[in-house]
Amino acid sequence: MNAPLLPDPAVHVDGVQEIAPDLLVIPNRGVQLVPNIGIIGGTHAVLVVDTGMGTANAEQVLSLASTVARGRRLYLTTTHFHPEHAFGAHVFDGHATYIANRAQADDLKTKGPGYLEMFRGFGSPVADRLDGDVRVPVPDVVHDDGYTLDLGGRTVRLRPTGRGHTKGDQVIEVPDAGVLFTGDLAEAGQFAIFPWFPPHDTDVSGIGWLAVMERLADNGHRVVVPGHGDVDGPQLLADVRDYLRELRDETWRRRDSAMDEGDVLAEVRALLVERHPEWEGREWIEKGVGCLCAEHPA
């Protein structure tokens, strides 16, 4: 893969937003490779969702979370293993208990080192964020079928979704506030990110992802915090579901006619850009088409 030209993926905690009582989001401000980061408080504990990429970013997040916690116990979880979401977790060692689902822990162990090297190859300033003591993190607590965390007067649910954007996607639900953290299962204002990099990584599943979004869109969440982009309402989940459905249908319709994959890509890309001209990340359409071509039923 050719390394993209990317801006500095710097987390800025001074832009933190309170979206519900004792529930903060550090927004990504539309910067690539900067996730939305959550800080969720209860009466006796605080949970951080995602870390940002690298030591310096995660140190800012930990500092803010510690200030917010004011002595309350700290927990950390991550939505999936990709570097901008999880490769700051080492900073929380000794300060917070890191909880993750088993499929994500497996992704970190088996694919994390390769992704660390791949991202270091993207050139400065991304590589600078991954210099020094950055390493693939290892969760302290690993769960299989979901984990309910009592923060004191507030229950948070960590739920693995099954294969979608990655094998190890996990959503975080805050039921009393109606808030859902989706990680990169949902993005606002951009085409779905398909990490389809054959032969190195083909774990993303368009079929699985669509099934996940169909379930999430029916769960009644009032506030949705996407992996990237603006905090939104439940329509965001429906928009992602509908896009994945049209991506599948338009790709498979052309594959059914025995069209060459290159022609399928060209036609589907043109059609989806026409339908969503305001969305960013058009390069991910090609990856999505490639993934769904590979998943096309024989």
Q: What is the pLDDT of residues 68-122, one digit of tens each?
A: 999 999 999 999 999 999 999 999 999 999 999 999 999 999 999 999 999 999 8
- The token duo for 219 is 């769960």
Q: What is the pLDDT of residues 160-219, one digit of tens each?
A: 999 999 999 999 999 999 999 999 999 999 999 999 999 989 999 999 999 999 999 998
Q: Angle 279-282-285 (CA atoms, 0-180°, nearest 5)?
A: 115
Using the predicted structure, report yes or no on whether residue 2 has a pLDDT greater than 60.
no
Give the integer Cα–Cα distance in Å for 53 and 47.
18
H or E, element range at 239: helix 235-256
Name the β-bridge partners of 179: 174, 223
Q: C-alpha distances in angstroms, 43 versus 47, 72, 174, 243, 265? A: 12, 8, 14, 39, 52
Contact indicator for 280, 230 with CB cutoff of 8 Å: no
Work out the pLDDT band at 6, boundaries 50, 70, 90: confident
Mean pLDDT of the chain: 96
Domain boundaries, the chain: 13-294
Name the β-bridge partners of 173: 157, 180
Give the integer Cα–Cα distance in Å for 275 and 277.
6
Name the percent of the chain in helix, strand, coil, to the closest 5: 40, 20, 40
Q: What is the pLDDT of residues 237-265, one digit of tens each?
A: 999 999 999 999 999 999 999 889 999 99
Domain 13-294: what homologous superfamily? Ribonuclease Z/Hydroxyacylglutathione hydrolase-like (3.60.15.10)
pLDDT at 52: 98
Match 């006619």 to its residue by tokens.
257
Name the β-bridge partners of 159: 171
Give the integer Cα–Cα distance in Å for 21 and 178.
12
Backbone angles phi, psi at 295, to 5 degrees: -90, 0
